[in-house]
Structure 1
Amino acid sequence: MRTRGALLLANIISGLALGFTLSNIGFVDYAELNRMFTFQDPRMLLSFAGAVVIIAAVFAVLRVRRTPGRVHAGVVIGAVLFGTGWAISGGCPAIPIAQLAGGYLPALVTIVGVVVGTRLCRWASGRYFKLDRGSCGL
């Protein structure tokens, strides 16, 4: 039980830190995200690039080696839908939660969209791509 409580506390602290960071760098502001997607302001893209460089360095130090798996048919379609949804709503799955915490109530629509999209993905993956339900996230 003690380990479960420590893990819960670590998750809460990590979530609060993520929300705080997202808010401070502007990731919860729709206008900022719109400027990123329309290439008007490279700051957000540079934030992403910095994150990729940092995690690549961490993986190199920890000697994490992963063999890429086979890309299935739903990945390209899913990536396009994910990017389109993010551009329209101003948030990937973590962003609307931080927006909601900041009092931005339209984020509820995005959260509902994430849930409905995940359910549709699970349905389509099983029916058309013959994949397991775990390939859709949430």
Structure 2
Amino acid sequence: MHTRGGILMANVIAGLALGFVVANIGFGDYAQLNRMFTFQDLRMFYAFAGAVAIIVVVFAVVGVRRTRGRIHAGVVPGAVLFGTGWAISGGCPAIPIIQVASGYLPALVTIAGVAVGIWLCRWANAKFFRLDRGSCGL
């Protein structure tokens, strides 16, 4: 039987390991991410492709299946906003945390932007769209 403390410790260790790996392969470096998005250096792109290939294999082994039905209404605009924000700020929501931990304090602006974006999404969803609760991320 697992204890809450043991699960928490496993999550902390896994998070630290992931942060260490992500920082060391360059995902916390804005210049490297910029080179990826402008196709000047494909190393980061290949890292993404490798991660996607691994998860496809894992999903196949575990038996994860796509649910039937239409794509959620927020997927396409959310993907466009996510990609645009990532290209501008140099990080998806997790990367600025790694950047701050690495001493790059301007990433705090990105973290604030993520928080404001989630708040705006929830506000717009409640006022205009009324999509399911998970539509705005965190």
TM-score interval, normalised by the smaller of the two chains: over 0.9
How far did residue 67 of structure 1 move? Answer: 1.5
Amino acid at match of 1:31: A
1:1-138 to structure 2, matched below 5 A, reads 3-138=3-138
Distance change (3 Å), C-alpha of 1:64 and 1:74: closer
Distance change (3 Å), C-alpha of 1:117 and 1:26: same
Query: What's the C-alpha RMSD, in Å, of the aligned pairs?
Result: 1.4
Identity of aligned residues (%): 74
Distance change (3 Å), C-alpha of 1:93 and 1:46: same
How far did residue 75 of structure 1 move? Answer: 2.3
Q: Is the 8 A contact 1:74 1:125 kept in 2?
A: no
Q: Is the 8 A contact 1:126 1:132 kept in 2?
A: no
Structure 1 unaligned spans of 5+: none
Structure 1 distance, partners of 2:33, 2:48, is 12
Q: Is the 8 A contact 1:121 1:136 kept in 2?
A: yes
Distance change (3 Å), C-alpha of 1:54 and 1:86: same
Aligned length: 137
Structure 2 distance, partners of 1:47, 1:74, is 27
Distance change (3 Å), C-alpha of 1:132 and 1:126: farther
Deviations 1:56-95 (A, max 9, x none): 1111111222215522433222211111110011000110
Structure 2 distance, partners of 1:38, 1:137, is 27
Structure 2 unaligned spans of 5+: none
User: Normalising by structure 1, what TM-score?
Assistant: 0.93
**Stretches of 4+ aligned residues off by more than 3 angstroms:** none
How far did residue 126 of structure 1 move? Answer: 2.2
Structure 1 distance, partners of 2:87, 2:93, is 12
Structure 2 distance, partners of 1:69, 1:100, is 40
Q: Is the 8 A contact 2:100 2:107 kept in 1?
A: yes
Structure 1 distance, partners of 2:16, 2:123, is 32
